[in-house]
Structure 1
Amino acid sequence: MRLAQRYGIALVALLLVGATVLFFWSENMMIYDNTQFNSPVELVWWSRDMSWNYDEQRQCGIHTCRITNKRSRRPLARGVLFYGSNIKTGDFPLPRSKQQVWALLHEESPRNTPFVSNKEFLRHFHFTSTFSRYSNLPLTTMYLPSGEALTSKDYYVTFGGKSRYGYRPSTSVVFLQSDCDTMSGREDYVKELMKHLPIDSYGSCLRNRDLPESLQKDYLNNLYSPELLRFLSEYKFMIAIENAACPDYITEKFWRPLIMGVIPIYFGSPTIKDWEPNNKSAIFVNDFQNPQALVKYLNKLADNQELYDSYRQHKLNRRNPISNKKLLHNLVTRQYHMGDSSPEASLFEKFECAVCYHVINTARNVRADSRHYNCPLEPVYAKMEGQKIPQNVADWRAAMEVGQCQAKILDEFFRRNIGFNDAEFDAELNRRIEGNNCSNSSNT
């Protein structure tokens, strides 16, 4: 009898313990469910340059996310957002939980932040939005407003119309640039061209002409203004050299002349032919041995209407103006482009919603690799006369090497998962540079 009582008491105790565990488990699950399904997922912008208060709840399709720049909310955040142009090497949210997604937005070339292009840095990010077609939110064609802009004749000038200006040479070429120190050596190449061909240069780089007074005010922030496009469309050729030669890094320098019906003289992205409207839409600097050979071909085109217009089939072939299926597919599927006037269509809002969707639906073990921001360490520049090297190429080479060193240090610091500041980072960078230890490879 006593044995039966003991078993009975033990059974009751076990049931009480089980009920208690079940109660607390269900309470915790209710809290978890409430966090998951009633409270929005939180994302934190990590930038010292956001001095204003930013705290918004955004509906991204079926998902809701709270996006803020309040650093105090980082422990609650599922994702941390970085803008590549203002990342500071001594300012990262560490220690970092394994559940926290890091997301990078960087539409620029590596001139602002050279360490970003290195795999040692990129592999710490789960989500990227860059010019590369391989990033999670590609911005490859962001500077092309629409396919209609390519085919429209709003700014089109006939061959005869371009040739009627007696005060311009038959081979009329325009250069409009105000960034005079580039990794691609743009200004050095144009100087070489100018030795063989008159070029109208309106920007602060190599300027020899003044824009009409109505266009002189803030044209850099109005690169697609109708007045500017109409003015430039009277030229036959426009120099379109990017500030850096990275695969898929394509800016308005390529698209704008195409929109106007002007033939671009292009140097930059080595993958540019994947994106031109037709097989022959631009003149590529790399197809010529030197500037003199290029000028010879330009003169040939400028005096031959049939040959010249063969580069403008996106304007003239009404039945099939764009034959590039990759470009056509991109225009339909891309998530962001300039000129989108729909609600919440800014680049930053598109990025925020893309990351919101990503943190809710994608596994955390997916990481970025070098293809997500693919730029060469060695500056790439156009071929000039007598194998000349652009004036500032050594400085850019040194800057990229320092960037590589910075990326390796950041990689090691991130792996330690301990917070560090600017002074600690700079001390380590200086130690390696002085000891010539920047070339040491990080663990993979």
Structure 2
Amino acid sequence: MERIEQMQQRRYKMKWFLILLVVMSITGFLTWLYIDHTVPEFNQYRLVKSFENPTESNDNNYADQLRIILLWNSFFGDKRWSLPDDLLDPSYFRKDIRCPVSNCVITNRRDLFPRLDMYDAILFHTAQPFSVINPVPSQRSWRQLYVFALMEPPGETKHILSDENDFYNLTMTYRTDSDIVWAYNWFVDKTTNMRILPWEYPQWHPVPNVYNNTEIWKAWSSKTKMAAWFVSHCETLSKREQLAAELQKSIDVDIYGKCGGFSCQQGSLECDRLLDEEYKFYFSFENSLCVDYITEKLYRIMKRNIIPVVYGGANYKQFLPPHSYINVEDFATPAEL
């Protein structure tokens, strides 16, 4: 009888021990949940402190506070938008790219903070449709900046822009009148090593009256072919393919890629050799005739020993050095060109 009572007492103690263990576990979990989700500022404070520049830590100026920027969707399938990592702290801006503004963290991680309205700015790549699931953040703070990010012309977007007029705070595009100019490329002044930016209306160096470079003249005189064009989009809004067809009636134009009878891996050393050594002119025709729209293909051609023939909606005098290109718009007809 006494043994039975001892067993009952042990079971009673074990029961209460298990109850106490469960209560403590639940309490601990709820405490963690409260700290990690209900009071997200704790996490934000830790993050800010881990990235804070010691030389700036005593500055309470709002302009010096850390800014967290979220990349909402991918850039043509690239979640990093061509950046080197999923999260970049101020050291990347300060040391790696030597940006004059370095109090930034940029990331594609939506789970960095418990709430989406804690990010200072969210960038939306509008050349792609938003996801069906969670197309846009469900929460938004009055202090947040929503940024319309686009490097393509308006005709290539997957959005009805008139429906999103009141959604964005800032624009980030190739246009020089954007809030943030997202340029495809730029030139550098060799004498000062400073960038020449088209939105600052650059004053180009005067062209010398006499220019003698025997290597360039020798390379130019050995060229045997007239014009080349590397192109993969055969039907475009600018109708550039029709312009090329008209020019082919007057001169020899070798078209490489899906739209022509010649093949060459664009960007390869062999393509560069062809342009440098064999062709005199290259067609740099944009797929859309939009304000300020000049793509990276033209900047790439400017590095080669060839003269680009440009066709687009930009004011090329603002973007390219004088006498470095031929503009289709300067001629009345393709035959005159």
1:14-45 Cα offsets, whole Å, 9 max, x none, are: xxxxxxxxxxxxxx9x98x9589648644333
Deviation at 1:285, TM superposition (A): 1.0
More helix by share: 1
Partner of 2:27: none
Give the counterpart of 1:106 among 136, 143, 150: 150
Confirm or deny that 1:46 pairs with 2:46: no
User: 1:72-111 counterparts in 2 under 5 A?
Assistant: 73-88=115-130, 91-111=135-155
| Cα distance change, pair 227–147 in 1 and its aligned pair in 2 (3 A) | farther
| Cα distance change, pair 69–283 in 1 and its aligned pair in 2 (3 A) | same
Partner of 1:200: 254
Determine the C-alpha separation between the residues in 2 that align with 1:268 and 1:55.
36
Partner of 1:181: 235
1:383-441 Cα offsets, whole Å, 9 max, x none, are: xxxxxxxxxxxxxxxxxxxxxxxxxxxxxxxxxxxxxxxxxxxxxxxxxxxxxxxxxxx
TM-score (norm: length of structure 1): 0.47
| Cα distance change, pair 62–251 in 1 and its aligned pair in 2 (3 A) | closer
List runs of 5+ in structure 1 lacking aligned partners.
Answer: 1-27, 295-444
| Cα distance change, pair 231–77 in 1 and its aligned pair in 2 (3 A) | same
Deviation at 1:97, TM superposition (A): 2.8
Question: Letter of the aligned partner of 1:98 in structure 2?
Answer: W
| Cα distance change, pair 51–232 in 1 and its aligned pair in 2 (3 A) | closer
How many aligned positions are there? Answer: 245
Give the counterpart of 1:210 among 252, 255, 263: 263
Q: Is contact 1:264-1:282 (8 Å) kept?
A: yes
Deviation at 1:95, TM superposition (A): 5.0
Give the counterpart of 2:169 among 123, 126, 136: 126
Determine the C-alpha separation between the residues in 2 that align with 1:139 and 1:203.
28
Determine the C-alpha separation between the residues in 1 that align with 2:216 and 2:249.
28
Partner of 1:139: 182
Determine the C-alpha separation between the residues in 2 that align with 1:66 and 1:200.
44
Secondary structure class of the residue paired with 1:286: helix
Deviation at 1:255, TM superposition (A): 2.5
Give the counterpart of 1:63 among 78, 97, 103: 103
| Cα distance change, pair 120–288 in 1 and its aligned pair in 2 (3 A) | farther
Determine the C-alpha separation between the residues in 2 that align with 1:56 and 1:255.
28
1:342-380 Cα offsets, whole Å, 9 max, x none, are: xxxxxxxxxxxxxxxxxxxxxxxxxxxxxxxxxxxxxxx
Confirm or deny that 1:247 pairs with 2:273: no
| Cα distance change, pair 63–285 in 1 and its aligned pair in 2 (3 A) | same
Determine the C-alpha separation between the residues in 2 that align with 1:263 and 1:201.
16
Q: Report percent identity of matched pairs.
A: 25
User: 1:403-422 counterparts in 2 under 5 A?
Assistant: none
Deviation at 1:129, TM superposition (A): 2.3
1:266-321 Cα offsets, whole Å, 9 max, x none, are: 1113312212212x322111122221111xxxxxxxxxxxxxxxxxxxxxxxxxxx
Q: Is contact 2:288-2:312 (8 Å) kept?
A: yes
Deviation at 1:113, TM superposition (A): 0.7
| Cα distance change, pair 95–201 in 1 and its aligned pair in 2 (3 A) | same
Secondary structure class of the residue paired with 1:292: coil
Determine the C-alpha separation between the residues in 1 that align with 2:232 and 2:309.
17
Give the counterpart of 1:237 among 243, 262, 281: 281
Partner of 2:57: none
1:164-185 Cα offsets, whole Å, 9 max, x none, are: 45xx45xx11111112121111
Task: State the superposition RMSD in angstroms.
Answer: 3.9
Question: Letter of the aligned partner of 2:316 in structure 1?
Answer: I
Q: Is contact 1:46-1:82 (8 Å) kept?
A: yes
Determine the C-alpha separation between the residues in 1 that align with 2:102 and 2:218.
55
Question: Letter of the aligned partner of 2:297 in structure 1?
Answer: K
Determine the C-alpha separation between the residues in 1 that align with 2:290 and 2:302.
20
Secondary structure class of the residue paired with 2:137: coil
Deviation at 1:157, TM superposition (A): 6.4
Deviation at 1:229, TM superposition (A): 2.1
Question: Letter of the aligned partner of 1:184 in structure 2?
Answer: S
Deviation at 1:236, TM superposition (A): 1.1
| Cα distance change, pair 81–284 in 1 and its aligned pair in 2 (3 A) | same
Determine the C-alpha separation between the residues in 1 that align with 2:307 and 2:293.
19
